[in-house]
Chains A and B, each alone.
Chain A
């Protein structure tokens, strides 16, 4: 057998074998690998590479070695899933660098971190002032996680006491001019609805590059021809405005009428509309 054919066969089978081993080992992302897993991965790759080229090496030796390395890695994975103590031994613990806004110098020293490196890591997290940090911890993967002091954290709707419409994921119903039936069904809609919505804005679905429908059934479309302007969904703000108008109308009638009982009725109804506006605002605003 010519040597190149042997190399070809070896390479082919080793690639196939490695493919299955990596499938079994799971799909942890490369950046999330612990140092040990990283080293094991490189070593397995190295053995496989050497084995596929070096025809003087017995296949059985190489395969045994690869199997042992992967088996140890799998064993460690299983064990660290089972036991927390084992996990901290293998993967290491997180080290607290800043606590209550104070730097823990001893922990820095323990992890061989210089003050400059700490500041650099903080800057990478967009923190330029030590004073902003409440808590920082060096994760076992080598990343620094930073908790800012409450007054330096970004404002959330909860901080502002805002009530917002709960967001559900939109469904993409037209892609490249083709109607996608499954997402349409997921949104509880059908082709008839879609066609009538498209008719409202005056396009056929063949001209639509992308169309999405949100959880309230509002349709947003993008056409192939970007020169044509389509209306953005305005039905909801429009309805909010028309409720406001009705409310103002009722108040006006209340002022205009002479009969006390009728005035009371109008005022009560205007109050009801006001209440309605308050409840609907978070759902109709964009």
Chain B
């Protein structure tokens, strides 16, 4: 497995985490929990952006592994 596909896996996991966090933030009846989930979701989105940029770089370096 190349580094690129590994990073893609992590990206997918993070996207699922972010989506879950968003659901929890919306579902939670407690304001405190809702805020914690929302802040974590924003953090995870930042990381997702970083990883997406990195995957772009990796694909430029190893064009043979391009695409999902």
A interface, CB within 8 angstroms of B: 165-166, 168, 187-188, 215-217, 235-236, 239, 242-243, 245-246, 249-250, 253, 256, 262, 265, 268-269, 272-273, 275-276, 279-280, 283
Contact = CB atoms under 8 A, between A and B. Distances in A.
Given A168-B29, A262-B54, A279-B39, A253 B3 contact: yes
B47 to A, nearest CB: 5
Contacts of B39: 279
9 contacts: A216-B28, A216-B29, A236-B24, A253-B3, A262-B54, A268-B50, A275-B43, A276-B44, A280-B36
A246 B30 contact: no
B30 A215 contact: yes
Nearest to B27: A217
B34 to A, nearest CB: 9
B24 A272 contact: no
A272 to B, nearest CB: 5
B10 A250 contact: yes
A215 B28 contact: yes
Contacts of B57: 262
Contact of B17 (A216, A242, A253): A242
Contacts of B20: 235, 239
Residue of A168, A273, A280 with highest tally of chain B CB at under 10 A: A280
A276 B45 CA distance: 12
Given A245-B13, A253-B7, A165 B30 contact: yes
Interface of B: 3, 6-7, 9-10, 13-14, 16-17, 20-21, 23-24, 27-30, 32-33, 36-37, 39-40, 43-44, 46-47, 50-51, 54, 57
B25 to A, nearest CB: 10
Contacts of A275: 43
Contacts of B7: 253
Interface of B is mostly: helix
A166 B40 contact: no
Given A168-B29, A265-B50, A246 B37 contact: no
B27 A216 contact: yes
A253 B39 CA distance: 25
Nearest to B35: A279
Given A239-B20, A246-B10, A283-B36, A168 B30 contact: yes
B10 A249 contact: yes
A247 to B, nearest CB: 10
Given A168-B30, A215-B29, A253-B7, A280 B46 contact: no
A211 to B, nearest CB: 16
Given A242-B17, A246-B14, A256-B3, A217 B28 contact: yes
A279 B36 contact: yes
A276 B40 contact: yes
Contacts of B36: 279-280, 283
A166 B32 contact: yes
A272 B47 contact: yes
A278 to B, nearest CB: 10
Given A249-B13, A250-B47, 7 more contacts: A166-B33, A168-B29, A242-B17, A246-B17, A253-B7, A280-B37, A283-B24
